[in-house]
Structure 1
Amino acid sequence: MDFGDVSLVALRVFREVAERGTLTAAAAALGYTQSAVSRQIASLERVAGTPVLERRPDGVRLTAAGTIVLRRAIAVLGEIDAAGRELAGLPAEAGAVRLGWFPSAGAVLVPRAVAELRRTHPGVTVITREGTTPVLVRALRAGTLDLAVLGSVPPFRPPDAETPALRLETLAERTLRLAVPAGHPLAGAGPVDVADLRGQRWIAGPSAGEETLMGVWPGLDERPEIAHTARDWLAKLSLVAAGCGLTTVPASLAGAVPPGVRVLEVRGGPAERRRVVLARLPGPPAEPAALLAEVLRRTAAG
């Protein structure tokens, strides 16, 4: 494949599609029509001589050839962007690191780690973005993130099946907890028995895969009553504080709940564990990413 025959527009469109997971989402992000995105992908495939995307009902997936093209496209676009900054007289971004994080990591872990890195290495710029696990993993693959802090639930499978496999490191493993209104009958001292959760009203939201309700205690032997749905963890906890129902939280958030919420352990049934995982592409990380990774390790351990 001769990249000289490929437009920069086609490469940027391809990177956006790889990150967004669908042609429609890429078109919306770029301000293009979906047909324009399709044409750019088609032009790239003509030059490559092979499909770079596998079209599926739930979006697109990179083919083996697409993975190779994406890796090269990231390198080319990085050089072009660096040249543009140099010509514009802007400082190089050698001290920048791009971090993605799942929603609840933004309550405690990410702000503390970023603040600590700013104190110890003021020359490193951290650029962050929140997202679901599939979005963040695609961004890692597309080269628009350097590191991603992900949440993982049993059985703790890898976040995707693509190759090469992502480098995964468990930063912390904590038990799942129950958040109840301070005036709720279960809010007394001591752990809650899982049998006492029958008949409760729940505040929950769909998981990234849209299959599991996040916020309902796992393994209940009844169909839960969902009183309110919300994706944002702070919205869920604010609804709990208002007495609207119960929700679940990782133990790491116990110190960040709003007033009017009690965080309790639950006994009975299998132990519910949650992991905070740091993900990146294989290979040695750049120095800014390595510095941030070390600060995230220390912060999570504390």
Structure 2
Amino acid sequence: MALTDASLTALRVFREVAERGTLTAAASALGYTQSAVSRQISSLERAAGASLLERRHDGVRLTPAGRVVLRHAAVVVDQVDAGARELAGLPDDPGTVRLGWFASAGAVLVPRALAALRESHPGITVTTREGGTPALVRALRAGALDLALLGSAPPFRPPDAETPALEVRTLAERALRVAVPEGHPLARGDYIDAADLHGQRWIAGPGSAATGGAGDSTGMGAWPGLDERPEVAHSARDWLAKLSLVAAGCGLTTVPAMLAAVVPPGVRVLPVRGGPKEQRRLLLARLPGPLPEPVARLTQALRAAALSR
């Protein structure tokens, strides 16, 4: 068999598996059974004459052959979808850009950039989705996103080890801060001494209770530089819930600097002095290749929003 024998359904399923990272997640997204997804992948591997996925305990990873097939599958599926739109009398919209973002970027940066873009280039349509770094990177690789906003922690490694390497641009690099209740003793000054963070109660994201987070800022919690096991009083994924708990006096939480603009009443966001610097980078990633005009315009808007205070 040859790859030309592959069905469109198999290509769609393979693209979904590559984006979701597991057969189970792909099956759920497509409304298929896991066995049906497995059969489609097997048929595609027979057509390609090579193994396309490496099955691992934490999901799947594309083989070198899988990366080649994914690149072409994305093109085929997009072209077929464009043809279907044309036959249905719907215009192809080359001015649409698909953007992915991590949680805290959606609170300030993304709305600010989209508002500016709507003023300067109203003909550009932007669709967005939130996700963690691994999911957003997989979506870029699968051709389901054009751009992705990612967070990065030292030592600032590439988002993944796949080839070709993603084109990654640093939009900003800023120090983390701590959100404290307005009536808390630590809220009286203009900054917090790192030593004064010992013995505090913390509000953390699930799965990262004792850390300050890395690429996915929803996992932020206790200050990363603490040299003690922190007391985590509350765990919440949603930023509004975390900050509302801070406002209620339930504890402190680590936040990206950009969130200082949208904290609810009763919260102060302060820098921390002393101890190691806790820097985080805001990255914009995309697949290598020509930069379409709408993507370039959104990139400029995101850059301007990231630099504004």
Give the alignment's TM-score, normalised by structure 2: 0.95
CA distance, structure 1, for counterparts of residue 200 and residue 191 of structure 2: 16
Matches within 5 A, 1:75-90: 75-90=75-90
Structure 2 equivalent of residue 289 of structure 1: 295
Is 2:101 aligned against 1:95? Answer: no
Is 2:274 aligned against 1:280? Answer: no
Match of 2:265 among 237, 259, 268: 259
Is 2:227 aligned against 1:232? Answer: no
CA distance, structure 2, for counterparts of residue 281 and residue 31 of structure 1: 28
CA distance, structure 2, for counterparts of residue 255 and residue 278 of structure 1: 21
CA distance, structure 2, for counterparts of residue 186 and residue 60 of structure 1: 46
> Which stretch of structure 1 is more off in the superposition, 214-223 or 79-88?
214-223
Shift of 1:190: 2.5
Matches within 5 A, 1:129-208: 129-206=129-206
CA distance, structure 2, for counterparts of residue 15 and residue 58 of structure 1: 18
CA distance, structure 2, for counterparts of residue 57 and residue 284 of structure 1: 36
Structure 1 equivalent of residue 18 of structure 2: 18
Figure out how many residues of one structure are paired with residues of the other and give that number.
301
Shift of 1:207: 5.9
Residues 224-273 of structure 1: per-residue CA shift (max 9 Å, x gap): 11111112222111110111110011111111111100111111101111
Structure 2 equivalent of residue 68 of structure 1: 68
Match of 1:268 among 245, 268, 274: 274
Structure 2 equivalent of residue 299 of structure 1: 305
Is 2:247 aligned against 1:241? Answer: yes
CA distance, structure 2, for counterparts of residue 242 and residue 91 of structure 1: 50
Q: Letter of the aligned partner of 2:113 in structure 1? A: A
CA distance, structure 2, for counterparts of residue 91 and residue 275 of structure 1: 38
Q: CA RMSD in A?
A: 1.4
Shift of 1:192: 1.2
Q: Letter of the aligned partner of 1:257 in structure 2? A: V
Shift of 1:298: 1.4
Unaligned ranges ≥5, structure 1:
none
Residues 261-287 of structure 1: per-residue CA shift (max 9 Å, x gap): 011111110111111100000111222
Shift of 1:2: 3.8
Q: Letter of the aligned partner of 2:101 in structure 1? A: W
CA distance, structure 1, for counterparts of residue 244 and residue 162 of structure 2: 38
* 4+ long deviations beyond 6 Å: none
Q: Secondary structure at the match of 2:234?
A: strand
Q: Letter of the aligned partner of 2:231 in structure 1? A: E
Contact kept in structure 2, 1:207 and 1:214, CA below 8 Å = no
CA distance, structure 1, for counterparts of residue 296 and residue 141 of structure 2: 18
Q: Letter of the aligned partner of 1:295 in structure 2? A: A
Contact kept in structure 1, 2:2 and 2:49, CA below 8 Å = no
CA distance, structure 2, for counterparts of residue 73 and residue 207 of structure 1: 34
CA distance, structure 1, for counterparts of residue 265 and residue 7 of structure 2: 55
Shift of 1:137: 0.3
Q: Secondary structure at the match of 1:61?
A: strand
Structure 2 equivalent of residue 49 of structure 1: 49
Residues 6-56 of structure 1: per-residue CA shift (max 9 Å, x gap): 111100000000000000000010011100000000000000001000001
Unaligned ranges ≥5, structure 2:
214-218
Contact kept in structure 2, 1:180 and 1:241, CA below 8 Å = yes
Give the alignment's TM-score, normalised by structure 1: 0.97
CA distance, structure 2, for counterparts of residue 214 and residue 177 of structure 1: 11
Contact kept in structure 2, 1:153 and 1:273, CA below 8 Å = yes
CA distance, structure 2, for counterparts of residue 84 and residue 267 of structure 1: 58
Identity %: 73
Contact kept in structure 1, 2:178 and 2:252, CA below 8 Å = yes
Q: Secondary structure at the match of 1:285?
A: coil
Match of 2:223 among 217, 224, 230: 217
